[in-house]
A = this chain, B = another copy of it.
Amino acid sequence: MMDAAASDPVAMGWMAGSPPPAATQVRWDDGSMWRFPQYRWGFSHMRELVPTAAIPRAGDVSPLPLALRDELDDVTLTTLAGQAMSWRQSLAATYTDAILVLHHGRVVYERWFGVTRPDTQHILFSVTKSFVGLAAEMLIAAGKLTDDAKAANYVPELQGSGLGNATVRQILDMRTGLAFSEDYVAGQQGLSDVQRMSIAGAWMPRLAGYDGPDGHFAFVASLGQDVPHGGDFVYRTPNTTALQWLVERVSGLPLAALIRDWFWQPMGMEADAAIAVDRLGTAFGGGGLMASLRDIARVGEMMRLGGRWNGRQIVPQAVVARIFRGGDPAAFAHVNYPGNPDGSYASQWWHRAGGQAMALGVHGQGIYVDRAAGVVIARLGSHPVASNRGNMGVTIPAYDALVAALG
């Protein structure tokens, strides 16, 4: 596998020229946007490849004061595989596209690699889910959704489907028995579940053999149930699609408008965001948000500050407390995530035993909030392995070393 320097998207020359020569093209219709190292360019240019709904910013930008400490480059750490490296080396080892560290609200570290810039709308993948989770918890806090109510109570179209009789809480915590395999490297014959979901959502073209539904919501309504709901945590993206459906139905807001009105505009974000939409205009709440590094750092900081940012209570304190409480480690233990032995997953956020909350996207996106240390880390990435298992063996010890150094 090419390392970060060899796969640098500027050096590779992706999409350079008018028009770009065939060998340098990164495209939706031939699937090249999903290939490494092409996607080291593509993840920063996803909106040029798929339709998106706008999430416009507004008003004055909320400040992120600078107190840079470039010596953090030299912080040393040992990866879970036992390799010694510096913080700076850890960024290359994890194919980091951009990273920002806040300590007690000040930017102590910020780096840009490859094709990223402060206004790049980088795909966040499953970090998107954590916004849907916040929205659902906010609706629960407002009494508009109820933990124990069944999904079909709110969205009758789910009646009879795998998730119709799952509760809001089971879906929020991904403890459902949905018949869906989140396998990004499926080798079996025919289309994988993830491919089918991607085709339904226009994330990929309609491949031969696809006879499934059209649109994210129709896709989740087409899924059955394998095992009883309420068992162990199993990560399955269509849970988030169902949750998004409940959130949109109950709030009356399409997800893009909700993120605009509840987060982007009141938080004084500095860049517009965007979210991928299917052929019916439905946002991909499971993974389609595209936003700037500094703006996702603001989300982390808002969470660190108990939901308060830019002079407003963005998220109720009780919701933030709920996120930081995490879920049931016993339901999570079987997944055996590198660097997170006693953690959990709840409300579409990841939780470490040390009390840290994380929003994580495949290929290395992340918002990491350590309230005890006063540290927030925002990260964009394009790791060749389509799983955070590919980088958490480095990032978690790196974060712990950085927090110790900031001490």
Which residues from chain A sit less than 8 Å from chain B, CB to CB?
Answer: 15, 18-20, 25-29, 45, 47-54, 56, 58, 119, 121, 215-218, 245, 248-249, 254, 271-272, 274, 277, 279-282
Contacts and interface: CB of A to CB of B under 8 A. Distances in A.
Nearest to A29: B279
A51 B49 contact: yes
15 contacts: A15-B280, A18-B217, A18-B245, A18-B249, A18-B254, A19-B215, A19-B218, A25-B280, A45-B53, A48-B51, A48-B53, A51-B51, A54-B121, A54-B272, A54-B274
A15 B215 CA distance: 13
Tallying the copies of this chain within the complex gives 2
A391 to B, nearest CB: 27
A51 B27 contact: no
Interface centre among A26, A28, A217, A280 (most CB of B within 10 A): A280
Contacts of A25: 280-281
A50 B51 contact: yes
B58 A27 contact: no
Contacts of A216: 19
A202 to B, nearest CB: 9
A385 to B, nearest CB: 26
Contacts of A249: 18
Contacts of A277: 48
Contact of A281 (B48, B53, B54, B245): B48
A119 B54 contact: yes
A282 B21 CA distance: 12
A56 B272 contact: yes
A222 to B, nearest CB: 13
Nearest to A251: B18
A20 B26 CA distance: 31
A3 B60 CA distance: 40
A387 B45 CA distance: 33
**CB-based closest 8 A-B pairs:** A18-B248, A56-B119, A272-B272, A19-B217, A19-B280, A48-B53, A15-B281, A48-B277
A47 B56 contact: no
